[in-house]
Chain A
Amino acid sequence: MTVPRSAFDLAAAVRSGETGALDVLGTYLAAIDAGDGEINAFNLVTREAAREAAIAVDHKVAAGEDPGLLAGVPVALKDNMCTRGVPTTCSSRILDGWRPPYDATVVTRLREAGAVVVGKTNMDEFAMGSSTENSAFGPTRNPNDTSRVPGGSSGGSAAAVAAGFAPVALGSDTGGSIRQPAALCGVVGMKPTYGTVSRYGLVAFASSLDQIGPFATTVADAALVFEVIGGHDPADSTCLDRPAPRVLSVLDEGIQGMTVGVLTEFLDGVDADVVARTRQAADACAAAGARVEEISVPEVRLGLSAYYLIAPAEASSNLARYDGVRFGLRVDAEDTTAMNTATRSAGFGAEVKRRIMLGTYALSAGYKDAYYDQALRVRTKIIDAFDRAYRRCDVLLGPTAPSTAFSIGAKSSDPMSMYLSDVCTIPSNLAGHPAISIPFGTGDDGLPIGVQLLAPALAENTLLRAAAVIEAAANSMEGREG
């Protein structure tokens, strides 16, 4: 029996009764068993719960009930999304032993749509990193070349989809943590507009930047998952009071007459093969009838600096609760303060500690105005600059990451060079705008390259129409080159 590769086809096959959800699950669990020993995409495979969920879907199909849009589709969840009764670790020792008493809203929505959660994926601890090396569970390896990183922080989810362990996965994107690993692993990764997907149950890194989004092998699958997880949630005050997104219907509308701006700042300091692929993607847009022009938005250069003040500042507060009092790790000591210190010293890894210190400093009396407040002013400038660019362009185009996947260990001792991995993705988080990474050929080393599309707030329709065009061009290019 062959199981379809895309979630779209898979759900259709399960819904029609052509394929059983349990059979589908079996195929994917077999792939995990065969391959994840090497890749280390999963912190936990929830085999039994997945079997029960798949059986429930099959029962619904047999009973003639609607099993949902993602009927029988295996989904991998980044391990910072709460799953009721199932360990949720953020790949940190500090959450050792904690089982959330509730499901994140996105998890509930996936379950209601008939998706089958297969496990929790590895990540940089608390989503802080760009390589999935900062993990208490060891690094995840890139399925395209296991000596390389998968990117991060949602590297486990990206690798799981790239390796065929799940047709789709969820990640969270605070500064590029979906798009950058998607690019490095050769899959589609989308960060929706801030506020379109509920953050309830997503363990917070930087609340004003965090956004959940899908990994998939196709743009249509990403769109499908986005439709399922998106929409208003009264449990998240920052979630926009809008109906669930409807994007699937527009995917084949093309981009005739659209203006695509090639963001020149994103081409600076980027490897030549990545620049070349980006230009090819621009050509594909032109070939599809879009007007393509270069556009400069100098303010995006300030994004990285602003981000590394705002995100750590919020994180320093969000991560305060890991104090050994109520849940997770506790290292006993003579008094409460000493217990807090001992717990946090033992429980957090080096990168998390670095960012907590950075953020604490940025918010401290006497420094806040020069650092945190200044970064907020920069954030406003970036938003204004994007607004000006979108008066001329419908979407912006650039690379997702400056290079293809780097070797494990290559940047571990140099935080600054690691941080630069996210230079092209961070501005969208600061602006709260949607963006997507689409695989577009390979680099000189034969590893995947991703190109990135950016769009204004709530313009997911436009974004996905353009993404579908680039995806089609990549597929036909692969046919020619392959």
Chain B
Amino acid sequence: MSDGWVMVIGLEVHCELKTASKLFCGCPNMFGNEPNTNVCPVCLGLPGSLPVLNQNAVELAMAIGTALHCDIRPSTFHRKNYFYPDQAKDYQISQYDEPINVNGWLELPDGFRVGVERAHMEEDTGKTTHVGTTGRIHGADHSLVDYNRSGVPLVEIVSAPDIRTSAQARAYVTELRSVLVATGASDGKMEEGSMRVDANVSVRRSGDDLFGTRCEIKNLNSVRSVGRAIDYEAERQVAIIESGDKVMQQTRHWDEDAGKTQTLRSKEDAYDYRYFLEPDLVPLAPDAAWKGAVADALGMMPAERRARLADLLQEAGTGTEARTEQTATVVDLGLDDLVVEAIAGGVPAALALARTANEAATDAEAARKLDPGSYVTLLAMEAAGALSATQSKTVLAELLAAGGGDPAVIARMKGFEAMSDNTLSVTVAEAVDANPEEWARYCAGEDKLAQVFIGQVMKATRGQANGKAVMAELQRLRG
């Protein structure tokens, strides 16, 4: 960001809910089927059809609200009227001035809290494919509409304009995605459109309190696009202001290939949506018991999971600062339960975290299915020196590939018998004899040369020696 300027960013995230059926009819909510096969009179907007609200969608919306610390309130649905071919009824049923979730927040991994103004329910539109040279409606020869997505339940999560950098925006989207997956509301697949992001971006000079004129950027289909588009847009706005012009309030389209935002429509062309209360639906007022049941069914959210690990690392006296990234990784991959189990099983916290974040994380899907008991046993063997780090990693890879097993048995089959102290000291002594010059320097205080001897021993034992034990032997020999 240019010196002397600050970005002000608010994000609107549309999340497709992972329900079995659509928001207002019984059609399957499925991605990737043959076009116009998951349709019925309701989601095609045929004359005479009427919407009936999907209870499961309401529950997932409430779960999102609970996870984002929102107030869950009595709510209503409105009609948002505009003509578009993929809008089956030529209006969208959406929550407007009385959304189900209001006034929440999302805490980012660094502890920064972004306000969530609302998280409301609405139906998705169909999908239009413009056939022609440009791929956009202008200049298309003809257009094809697939209504399979018409009526798919969405929750739109609107952040407060609290975000100040593109990195923070990326962190927000990443964290929100984890929360949505953790609630069971979403599969979080941005590439399939399960999550779509619009960014409201404005800039102001450092120290200013007032907001600048904002532009809304659409078509952000990845975390990377979110960051790139915001950076581009902020610089564009700064350049306009510095050249003495004014930023015009606009909706802009992010062109991923060109790396640019382009005008979609300006404020003057903004639709008048003629919102009014949807007369075909009745108000929604979840009672305390229903809200309680949804809250009780909700598992731990990523922030809670990170806090849980941080506490354990703290207790173990392991520096938490340096471990933030590893903590975030294991939580993000849903492997934090393994770490917690391992620590509870007596494995040193740093080892439990490192093995999980570095090795188990390489095949997170298999690791999530791993029997925690065998994982803890393996790490305990490594911690006790029964297996070297290299051996431990090999056994772990075997466990993940086989989908489980007894680490002790695998270690034996691999020939990873723990080396006796006697054998080890002979091998270390051989390494010392072979490198007299390095040994002298090591004895003179060049500690880092210990690595030379460890390397030699490892080579000689094909990685089976325990690094810590080698180090202890070297220190003993040095006296």
**Could you tell me which A residues sit within 8 Å of B by CB distance?**
80-82, 88, 90, 95, 98, 100-102, 104, 199-204, 206-208, 234-238, 313-314, 316-317, 320-321, 323, 325-327, 336-337, 340, 360, 363-365, 368, 372
Question: CB < 8 Å: which of B50, B91, B274, B282 contacts A364?
Answer: B274
Q: Chain A residue with minimal CB distance to B47?
A: A203
Prevailing SS type, chain A contact patch: loop
* Cross-chain contact B83 with A337 (CB below 8 angstroms): yes
Q: Which residues of A contact B52 (CB under 8 A)?
A: 234-237
Whether the Cβ atoms of B279 and A208 lie closer than 8 Å is: yes
Chain A residues whose C-beta falls within 8 Å of the C-beta of B51 in the assembled complex: 237
A317 in contact with B79 given A201-B48, A326-B44 (CB within 8 Å): yes
Contacts of B274 in A (CB 8 A): 316-317, 360, 363-365, 368
Residue of A nearest to B51 (CB): A237
Query: Smallest CB-CB separation from A376: which chain B residue?
Result: B277
Nearest chain B CB to A117 CB, angstrom units: 16
Q: Is the CB of A336 within 8 A of B85?
A: yes
Question: B143 in the interface, Cβ–Cβ < 8 Å?
Answer: yes
A325 in contact with B145 given A317-B81, A320-B83, A364-B274 (CB within 8 Å): yes
| Listed residue (B41, B47, B91, B143) with the most chain A CB atoms within 10 angstroms of its CB | B47
Is B46 a contact of A327 with CB atoms below 8 Å? yes
By Cβ-Cβ distance, the 3 closest A-B pairs, closest first, are A320-B90, A207-B279, A363-B274
CB-based contact A320/B276 at 8 Å: no
Cβ-defined contact, A363 with B46, below 8 A: no
Q: Are A237 and B90 touching (Cβ within 8 A)?
A: no
B88 / chain A contacts, CB cutoff of 8 Å: 321, 326
- Name B residues whose Cβ lies closer than 8 Å to a Cβ of A: 41, 44-53, 79, 81, 83, 85, 88-91, 137, 143, 145, 272, 274-276, 279-282
Known: A238-B50, A238-B282, A368-B276. 17 other contacts (CB 8 A): A90-B47, A100-B46, A102-B46, A200-B48, A204-B47, A204-B48, A235-B50, A237-B53, A237-B281, A320-B90, A323-B83, A326-B46, A336-B85, A337-B83, A340-B83, A363-B275, A372-B276
Give the docked Cα–Cα distance between A236 and B42 (Å). Answer: 11
Residues from chain B with Cβ under 8 Å of A372 in the complex = 276
B interface, over-half SS: loop
Bound complex: CA of A313 vs CA of B281, how far in Å? 17
Contact of A320 among B89, B143, B272, B282 (CB under 8 A): B89
Complex alpha-carbon distance, A426 and B272, angstroms: 30
Given contacts A320-B89, A320-B91, A321-B90, A202 and B280 within 8 Å (CB-CB): no
Q: How distant is the Cα of A200 from the Cα of B143 in the complex, in angstroms?
A: 31
Give A102 to B48 CA distance when docked, in angstroms. Answer: 10
CB pairs A–B below 8 angstroms (6 shown): A200-B49, A204-B280, A314-B279, A321-B47, A326-B45, A364-B272
Q: Is the CB of A325 within 8 A of B85?
A: yes
Our pick among B48, B89, B276 for the contact of A202 (Cβ within 8 Å) is: B48
B49 partner residues in chain A, CB cutoff 8 A:
200-201
- Within the complex, the shortest CB–CB distance from B1 to chain A, in Å, comes to 35
Measured CA separation A417–B282 after assembly (Å): 35
Min C-beta distance of B315 to chain A, whole Å: 53
Q: Could you tell me if A102 and B41 are in contact, using CB atoms closer than 8 angstroms? A: yes
A336: shortest Cβ distance to chain B, in Å? 6
Q: Which of B79, B276, B281 has the most CB of A within 10 A?
A: B276
Question: In the complex, A239→B145 CA distance in Å?
Answer: 32
Specify the chain B residue showing the minimal Cβ separation from A325: B85
Contact B276 A95 (CB under 8 A): no
* Contact between B50 and A199, CB atoms less than 8 A apart: yes
> A127: shortest Cβ distance to chain B, in Å?
12
List residues of chain B with CB within 8 A of the CB of A340. Answer: 83
Given A317-B274, A320-B81, A326-B45 in contact, is the A238-B91 Cβ separation under 8 Å?
A: no
Chain A's closest residue to B278 (CB) is A207
Is A317 a contact of B50 with CB atoms below 8 Å? no
- Complex interface: chain A residues within 8 A of B83 (CB): 320, 323, 337, 340
- From the candidates B47, B90, B279, name the one contacting A82 in the complex (CB within 8 A): B47
Identity of the chain A residue whose Cβ is nearest the Cβ of B270 in the assembled complex: A365
Q: In the bound complex, how far is the Cα of B110 from the Cα of A238, in angstroms?
A: 48
Most chain A C-beta atoms within 10 Å of own C-beta, residue among B45, B90, B91, B137:
B90
Chain B residue numbers with a CB within 8 Å of A317 are 79, 81, 91, 274, 276
Q: Which residues of A contact B44 (CB under 8 A)?
A: 326
Residue of B nearest to A341 (CB): B83
Residue of A nearest to B276 (CB): A363
A33 to B127, CA, bound (A): 49
Our pick among A90, A208, A236, A363 for the contact of B50 (Cβ within 8 Å) is A236
The minimal Cβ–Cβ distance linking A120 to chain B, given in whole angstroms, is: 13
Q: B86: nearest residue on chain A (CB-CB)?
A: A325
A368 to B49, CA, bound (A): 27
Rounded to whole angstroms, the CA-CA distance of A216 and B176 in the bound complex is 60
Bound complex: CA A201 to CA B90 (Å): 18
Contact B48 A104 (CB under 8 A): yes
Min Cβ gap B273→A in Å is: 8
Which one of B89, B137, B143 lies within 8 Å of A321 (CB-CB)? Answer: B89
Closest to B45 in A: A321
Q: A313 — nearest CB in chain B belongs to which residue?
A: B276
Residues on A with C-beta less than 8 A from B90 are 320-321, 323
CB neighbours (8 Å) of A237 from chain B are 50-53, 280-282
Q: Please give, as numbers and ranges, the residues of chain B lying within 8 Å of A208 by CB-CB distance.
A: 279
Query: Shortest distance in angstroms between B40's beta carbon and chain A's nearest beta carbon?
Result: 9
A327-B88 Cα distance, complex, nearest whole Å: 11
Chain A neighbourhood of B85, CB < 8 A: 323, 325, 336
Answer whether A336 and B91 are a contact pair too, CB < 8 Å, given A88-B47, A317-B79, A317-B274. Answer: no
